[in-house]
Structure 1
Amino acid sequence: MARTTPMSGFPEFLPADRIIEQRVLDALTTVFELHGFGSVETRAIEPLEVLAGKGEVDKEVYAVRRLHADTDGDDAPVWGLHYDLTVPFARYVLEHAGKLQFPFRRYQVQKVWRGERPQEGRYREFTQADVDIVGADVLADHHDVEIVAVAADGFARLRRDLGFPAAVLRVNNRKLAEGFYTGLGIDDPAAVLQRIDKLDKIGPDRVAASLVADCGVTEAVARSCLALAEIATTDESFVDRVRALGVDHPLLDEGLELLAAVVRGAGRVAPGLVRADLSIARGLDYYTGTVLETQLAGYESLGSVASGGRYDRLASDGRRTYPGVGFSFGVSRMLVPLLGQGVLTTDRSVPTCVLVAVDADESRDAAFATATTLRGRGIPAEVAPKADRFGKQIRYADRRGIPYVWFARPDGDEVKDIRSGDQVAADADSWQPPADDVRPRVRPTGE
């Protein structure tokens, strides 16, 4: 095969980086399952009309078709690769509703494809890890608190176990914002939300000008909208600050109560991780209540690396409506830049904990038996690829980061920790390495 050229926007990991990715996914799925969510996987393709019906995504969808027409002469049908996990999940709920127990608690970890210009944190093929709670016709408000708690727990575990940068979950409620805008006399709150959603990108002056020019509000009203967006607290004190702006509306009252409950509930799981930030708008129309965005400390240029919220019409079959609340971890979005900048590292590029040395080809069967015994006890082991001087086999293990080398001796086996040089008598039926050595360790570079 001729030398190949990497495809932009389709990241591939070397084994050491893949270990880190797997540990990230292990940490997240552990959190999901601890909170009682079950795993699903949906097909990678959906009918193009279904994908195109979810908004202006024509330029983002990759079309898929058979190379050849069907044998009956008709053109092969054309599908599209899903560009997020929400659309296939909505279809999944409709198709399987009769077999699901509601509220339905699901997590899903899969590849997603999106035809956009590749840049740091944005790729054409990437992995998402989504978690959702879906109800049939109704979904209690307390599930919003639960989803935010799951998100907070996930980021707290990534930081605690793997050394991820600190995360800040910024949370708002669309009802709060819409009630505030309506209380100001604004006829089209959704249009204001779309402008406020650009605050981080274009700044307050341009947002204010857009509100006046495009939404028909006065400069005073525009300033009030920006005053609301400036409020951010790590506790429930945002309620008093909103009240001080002097706007009243029942929907505003409801939104304040819901957001306070979310901040209070998430604070019990991960104190200081969740922040009420009234600039968060999530301009997408399908969000109807809680909205979330997440930034990593020191990597704010990546924008939001995880997001979600409440949507009262995830799916509908005309008879029943399925509301939901969910959160999506952009695994590739945050992990690829961190790996590219060398922020995280692992102590070995293979899962192997023990290399069983081979002193002669005749002893390879015995070495395999030793490795088999270790594996049976949950200790990853491999046999040296060739019989060679023990010094060369130790160097082979060292290059791959394998911490232990096992030697068969006539008077009893021994195992060597090649990091410290310690070598002790050992029996494959009872020897146990330290717990931290059984699997590769992930940690911040330099720790």
Structure 2
Amino acid sequence: MAKTKLTAISGFPEFLPPEQILFAKVLDIIREGYELYGFSPIETPAVERKEVLTSKGGNEKEIYALSRLAAGEGENPNTELALHFDLTVPLARYVAMHKNKLTFPFRRYQIQKVWRGERSQAGRSREFYQCDIDVIGRGSLSLLTDAEIPSIIYQIFRRMKIGPFVIRINNRKILQGYFQSLGIQADQIDGITRIIDKLEKMGTEKVVSELTNKTALEKATAQQMIDFLGNELKTDDMLTQLNSMSQINEQFSQGVKELASVVEGIRNFRVPEASFKIDLSVARGLDYYTGTVYETVLVEHPGIGSICSGGRYDDLASFFTNEKLPGVGLSIGVTRLVSQLIEDGLLKKGAATVAQVLVASMDENRTSDYLRMGTELRNAGIPTEVYLEKARIGNQLKYADKKGFKIAIIAGENEFSENTVQIKDLITGEPIVCPLTDMVQQVKKSLSAQESKL
């Protein structure tokens, strides 16, 4: 029988063990960071009804619909279901359905895969993990929540040790008010905002061209808009300038007041000035954002682009309930993030095993002793693998080196006759012989010594 030819599926990444272990560690940092601020986990189905996903800004061309490969007579293989493209729309549906059972403000985090049928390219996958936090209010939600979100992200990225980063903040009301002051009609604003959202990727010239060609803006108006968005001022200077323009219209003025309040809150959450800034070009292309918006970039690696983003949405759940359920949140596209950080050398791959210790098997008649050693080490909280195959000790040590174990436990006829064990440091190559009864303590000591040298 002919064998199926195996090829990688474009846009659906998979990691080898060293990358996957690193990925899991990053997820742990994110999860712990979210829980440190009191967020509770939830999980929603991978699929939603199509009308839910397209209710507020979903691009139908990027949504994978669910169908069966075959159907019975008279059945339709197509279904009313599709894979979710983000976790925010499913959250709105979830809160609307369970609002009478939830406690508000509802603080949740969600770490799941999402799927988008977009063109696969560098930094863009069709299947990837998102790590979301959101706070949903019932009737109202304090602007202090908008300030808390950046403080959480600051703590997480600082712990990841990926170098200096800046959380860029803006308010959609400022953009909408400014666009209206230029004579732009309300029904054009969302389309223009989506184009503006491409500014960093496409550059000024291409964005101006797209604005003039797709929205019928005069080139001078488009350039005036870009000049306003490109203002580079320190935070307080930017607020002063925006306040001086507040007479433009009520929406602009409201956006400036909200932005100033969020900035004050971020400072009260003790986020350093160097780690956040006002950036008027941050637009966020999705239609459901109504106020504060965020993007985060690495200072020394701007080419990676935004490593997390989000904002406030006051009426996302309006398609599912008449009750006002305002929210604010942020998402880390962690699959893309980890891949880019590895590629740029900001995260280092490590071992191909999560175990620290390998117990070698020297004598098949002593298998029960090797298994007991493994159990003793695990009971002490030390991840341990026992080598179970028949192989020479040299080959076992090659295996240990290739996978990245830190310690090898070696016990043969001589060691057992003396009731000792050899503990081999696989980083320095140095062996230590100690009584079998001291094995666990000596392994801990050796691992601690290795850690102190990192």
Q: Specify if TM > 0.5.
A: yes
SS of equivalent residue, structure 2 residue 314? strand
Alpha-carbon separation, structure 1, partners of 2:382 and 2:449 = 6
Alignment match of 2:340 (pick from 337, 341, 361) = 337
Q: Deviation digits for residues 175-206 of structure 1, max 9, x if unmatched?
A: 22223344555543545534433333444355
Structure 1 residues without counterparts, runs of 5 or longer: 442-446
- Residue 241 of structure 1 aligns with an amino acid whose one-letter code is Q
Separation of aligned partners in 1, 2:60 and 2:451? 42
Q: Compare 3-12 and 255-264 and name the one that shifted more.
A: 255-264
Q: Percent identity of the aligned residues? A: 39
- Tell me, yes or no, if the aligned pair for 1:360 and 1:388 is still in contact at 8 Å: no
2:18 aligned to 11, 16, 19, which one? 16
Taking the aligned partners of 1:346 and 1:205, their CA distance within structure 2 comes to 39
Q: Given residue 147 of structure 1, which amino acid in structure 2 is its aligned partner?
A: I
Q: Which amino acid aligns with 2:173?
A: K
Matches within 5 A, 1:26-425: 26-55=28-57, 57-69=59-71, 73-76=74-77, 78=79, 79-159=81-161, 164-183=162-181, 186-188=184-186, 189-190=189-190, 192-205=192-205, 207-208=207-208, 222=222, 224-233=224-233, 235-243=235-243, 247-267=247-267, 268-316=270-318, 317-340=320-343, 343-408=346-411, 409-410=415-416, 411=418, 412-424=420-432, 425=434
Secondary structure of the structure 2 residue equivalent to 1:138:
coil
What secondary structure does 2:294 align onto?
strand
- Deviation of residue 135 (structure 1)? 1.1
- For 1:321, what is the secondary structure of its paired residue? coil
Q: Which amino acid aligns with 2:364?
A: D
User: In the alignment, is the contact (CA less than 8 A) between 2:407 and 2:423 conserved in 1?
Assistant: yes
Q: CA–CA distance in 2 between the matches of 1:252 and 1:439?
A: 57
Change (3 A) 1:430 1:62: same
Residue 327 of structure 1: how far off its partner (Å):
0.3
> Larger helix proportion, structure 1 or 2?
2
* CA deviation after TM superposition for structure 1 residue 264, in Å: 4.0
- The answer as to whether partners of 2:169 and 2:279 remain within 8 angstroms in 1 is yes
- Measure the CA separation in 2 of the matches of 1:4 and 1:180: 53
Q: Following the alignment from structure 2 to structure 1, what is the Cα–Cα distance between the partners of residues 41 and 364?
A: 46
The answer (yes or no) to whether the contact 2:10–2:120 under 8 Å persists in 1 is yes
Distance 1:436 1:369, change over 3 A: closer
Q: Could you say which residue in structure 2 is the equivalent of 1:444? A: none
2-structure distance, mates of 1:214, 1:2: 46
User: Hey, what does 1:4 align to over in structure 2?
Assistant: 6
Please identify, of 335-344 and 346-355, the stretch whose mean Cα deviation from structure 2 is larger.
335-344
The CA deviation at 1:139 is 1.2
- One-letter amino acid of the counterpart of residue 91, structure 2: F
| Contact kept in structure 2, 1:196 and 1:279, CA below 8 Å | yes
**Could you give the per-residue CA deviations for residues 258-304 of structure 1, whole angstroms, max 9, x where no partner exists?**
22333344351344221210111123221110111222345433432
- The alpha-carbon deviation at position 325 of structure 1 amounts to 0.5
Cα distance in 2, alignment partners of residues 435 and 260 from structure 1: 53
Q: How big is the shift at 1:428?
A: 4.0
TM-score (ref. length: structure 2): 0.86
Unaligned runs of at least 5 residues, structure 2: none
Asked whether the 8 Å contact 1:235–1:264 carries over to 2, the reply is no
3-state DSSP of counterpart to 1:315 = helix
Query: Is the deviation greater in 274-283 or in 386-395?
Result: 386-395
Distance 2:184 2:67 in 1: 47
Alignment partners' CA distance in 2, 1:222 and 1:67 = 49
In the alignment, what sits opposite 2:441? 430
Q: Secondary structure at the match of 2:110?
A: strand
What is the one-letter code of the residue matched to 2:266? A
Q: Distance in 1 between matches of 2:83 and 2:190?
A: 30
Displacement after TM superposition at 1:10 (Å): 0.8
Give the 3-state SS of the residue equivalent to 1:269 in structure 2: coil
Q: Quote the RMSD (CA, aligned, Å).
A: 3.0
Contact 1:282 1:291 in 2 (8 A): yes
Counterpart CA distance in 2 for 1:81 and 1:202 is: 29
| SS of alignment partner, residue 413 of structure 1 | strand
Q: Which moved more, 1:120-129 or 1:189-198?
A: 189-198
Scaled by the length of structure 1, the TM-score of the pair is 0.87
CA distances 1:297-353 after superposition (whole Å, capped 9, x unpaired): 454334323210000012134431211101010111222233345553233110111
Cα 1:143/1:439, change in 2 over 3 Å? farther
Task: Give the match's secondary structure for 1:345.
Answer: coil
Contact 1:360–1:387 under 8 Å retained in 2: no
**Residues 135 and 323 in structure 1, CA contact (< 8 A), matched pair in contact too:** yes
Cα displacement (A) at 1:63:
1.8
Query: How many residues matched?
Result: 437
> 2:449 and 2:326 mapped to 1: Cα distance?
43
One-letter amino acid of the counterpart of residue 375, structure 2: T
| Residue 47 of structure 1, CA deviation | 1.6
CA deviation string 1:194-250 (max 9, x = no partner): 443333344435545666676676777555533321223453321123345685434
Q: Do the aligned residues in 2 keep the contact of 1:347 with 1:440 (CA within 8 Å)?
A: no
